[in-house]
Amino acid sequence: MNNKTPLILLTALVTACGGRDALLGRKQSDPAPVTVKVLTAGKSAAGVSTGYVGTVQAEDETTLRSPSDGTLIELKAKEGRPVRKGEVLAVVESQTLRNAWTAAKATLDQAEDAFRRVSMVHEGGAVTEIEYMNVKSKVEQARASEAAAWSALEKCNVKSPIDGVVEKIWCTKSMELIPGEPLMRIVNLGELSIAFSVPEAELSRCNVGDAAVVSIPALGMEVDGRVQSKGVTASALSRSYDCTAAISGKPGGLMPGMVCKVFLGTDREDSTIVIPASAVMTDMEGRYVWTVDGNGVVGKKRIRVGGYSYSGISVADGLEEGEMVIIEGRRKVSSGMKVEVQK
């Protein structure tokens, strides 16, 4: 065997195990530790709430409909425009109602003329009292019919029954209408409430008068409220009950249809550890969080969730107060890993 062979094999072995640095006696540099952001677990009095998805709704709203068949000859309303009670928002030209009023008016004119003639001769005793009363009765009937026909025709001037805002318009000018066809919806933004559904298994937690906190993501705010009504009949499909919550004050920018979250039970004095929902992970064995000890070493802690609140998830078991929970960078770590902590 060539005397150089052992040296070549040794060099190859050293190179495979550590490369040039190992051959020269230098240590390889360790990779930079992963940086994670942590939150020190602490107790909160708001940790026992139960959250439900809700929708902002107007307490007072109405849909205006076409009073008859006809043509929409004037549309004065615009979506988003404030309106006053009694304001004319649309005008429908109904030939059917106009003809009915014209006929009723002609009948009334004829009956009144006949009554004047009968009244003149009645004073002279030329007609009996029965004949006189019969003609008088026809006049009264004709007046009632004319008044009813005029009232129906007058309703073709579609007016707002409430103060509010035009939320939606379904019609356009010159549109041919049928009786009862929706024209527009008016809502009163001064009285808003939150509609939400509660599963039947949790209905006992919701009672009229209970305190609530309403989170409105679109406005980035939370407002206090109270349960206003509690449903008595469950939905056949979802087995949930429709409830409403009244809110305190009039938050600026709050509009019907906005999605929100209703949290109940926030007036309880219980305290529990609350962590962000984003910190909780799930695997085949259940829920867990990543924690970091005082030496910067990562560990997995199994937890049991106790409930939800507007500030996060309450932990019923598995986590101690003061432990550091990873809230950012949790997908880059594993048990036993050394990390750099950023609070």
> Tens digit of pLDDT per residue, the chain (343 long)?
455 555 444 444 444 445 444 444 545 555 678 889 998 887 765 445 567 899 999 888 899 999 999 999 999 999 989 999 999 999 999 999 999 999 999 999 999 999 998 888 877 677 888 888 999 999 999 999 999 999 999 999 999 999 999 999 999 999 999 999 999 999 988 888 999 999 988 888 889 999 888 888 888 888 889 999 999 999 888 889 999 999 987 778 888 889 998 988 644 445 678 888 888 898 888 899 999 998 999 999 999 887 666 567 778 888 888 899 998 988 889 999 999 988 6
Predicted confidence at residue 240, as pLDDT, reads: 93
When computed from its CA atoms, the radius of gyration of the chain, rounded to whole angstroms, is 39
Predicted confidence at residue 10, as pLDDT, reads: 44
The Cβ of residue 312 has, within 10 Å, a number of other Cβ atoms equal to: 20
Burial class (CB in 10 A: 0-12, 13-18, 19+), 252: exposed
Q: Which amino acid is at 292?
A: V
Predicted confidence at residue 267, as pLDDT, reads: 44
Question: By C-alpha distance, which of 234, 227, 209 is closest to 263?
Answer: 227
